[in-house]
Structure 1
Amino acid sequence: MISSTEADWKREQIISGRYEPGKKLLQALRSYQRASAGKGILKMLHQKKAVLFHRFWSAVCGADIPLNSRIDGGLLIPHPNGIVIHPEAKIGPNCLIFQQVTIGAGTRPGLPVIEGHVDIGAGAKILGGVRVGAHSKIGANAVVIQDIPPNATAVGIPAKVKTGTLSG
């Protein structure tokens, strides 16, 4: 089982010869974060370079993932178009986020906390001060406005936790 606490950085590695804009966007984000930890004039130069790459790949992807995002390692965004993440939302390690997902403010005070190894389906919205437990799955187009326990599957508008196994 994939860890919900330890980042698997191999998931973010770019494979030579492949067109992976989501991984390029994450690479720019990680470069900025590393540069921010540095000192002096090199810090500024590395930050500026990372900002330029981030802007380029954000435009290519059509994604809004700020440089100061709180995203742990091992994130997969195979189809990054339309992803919007609030910079103060927290995303744990080894998550999977598909296209058109919004993670941000809602009517409930606070911002989402997504624990480790959560899979978020295309078009899902996770809004307000909710917590999504580790190893959970959020269905496509679900609107999460309440906490989701660990190892749960949530679907619908508003999202409800489904018990038992889902069959195809």
Structure 2
Amino acid sequence: MFENLRADFKAHGRRWGAQGFWVMVVYRFGRWRYGLRPVWLRKPFSLAYHVAYKGVQVLTGIELPCEAEVGEGFVIDHFGGIVVSGYARFGRHCRIRNGVVVGLARVEDPVAPHIGDHVDIGAGAKVLGRIRIGDHVIIGANAVVVRDVPARHIAVGVPARVRPRTDLPQVP
């Protein structure tokens, strides 16, 4: 847990006041508590997690449950309006901004997006449903993504149109 917290602190620019960093502290604590055995020992830590989770959610406007899978270097760039489903999966070095929703397309289908490494999600974007986002993808501000995005592409618009990225060197 502490190695992850050091990496999160570094990813958030070594700023103690970054709301995203405090959300990650609570998230990492919530993940860590699952490893406690026996179950009776875990109960008080679970209570502490739920109180801290609700406090961070109210203070920052960011909802990141510990059931979601988040890779190293995950950065929450801006304050507020961020909702991540507990079913979501993020790769390494992803960045999200204010107003982003990563979640279910329908409650009846409890599967959220699987997001690859080095993905940048712009402000207000909605990434919904049983989809996969490849590595090195940019999702533009206010885009609504409801279908797969291949690696090294950009998704923009409502509904999102997918185009190849031209700013990356070509892979052999």
Superposed pair shares fold, TM > 0.5: yes
Residue 80 of structure 1, CA deviation:
3.7
- Does the residue aligned with 2:62 lie in a helix, a strand or coil? coil
Q: Deviations over 1:67-119 (max 9, x none)?
A: 32222222100214111111112111210000100111226x54211111100
Equivalent in the alignment of 2:35 = 37
Q: Is the 8 A contact 2:124 2:142 kept in 1?
A: yes
Residue 159 of structure 1, CA deviation:
0.8
Q: Is the 8 A contact 1:9 1:74 kept in 2?
A: no
Residue 49 of structure 1, CA deviation:
2.0
Q: Deviations over 1:6-38 (max 9, x none)?
A: x98654117777411111111111111111111
Please give the TM-score of this superposition, normalised by the length of structure 2: 0.82
Q: How does 1:1-168 map to 2 (within 5 A)?
A: 10-13=6-9, 18-40=16-38, 41-106=40-105, 110-163=111-164, 165=166
Q: 1:8 to 1:96 in 2, by over 3 A?
A: farther
Please give the TM-score of this superposition, normalised by the length of structure 1: 0.83
Between the aligned partners of 2:103 and 2:74, the Cα distance in structure 1 is 17
Quick one: higher RCO (CA 8 Å, sep 6+), 1 or 2?
Answer: 1
Q: Is the 8 A contact 2:91 2:116 kept in 1?
A: yes
> Which consecutive segments of 4 or more residues in structure 1 shift more than 4 A?
7-11, 14-17
Between the aligned partners of 1:164 and 1:70, the Cα distance in structure 2 is 26
Number of matched pairs: 159
Percent identity reads 31
Residue 52 of structure 1, CA deviation:
1.9
Unpaired runs of 5+ in structure 2? 168-172
Q: 1:38 to 1:161 in 2, by over 3 A?
A: same
Q: Which amino acid aligns with 2:82?
A: I
Q: 1:18 to 1:29 in 2, by over 3 A?
A: closer
What's the C-alpha RMSD, in Å, of the aligned pairs? 2.4
Equivalent in the alignment of 1:3 = none
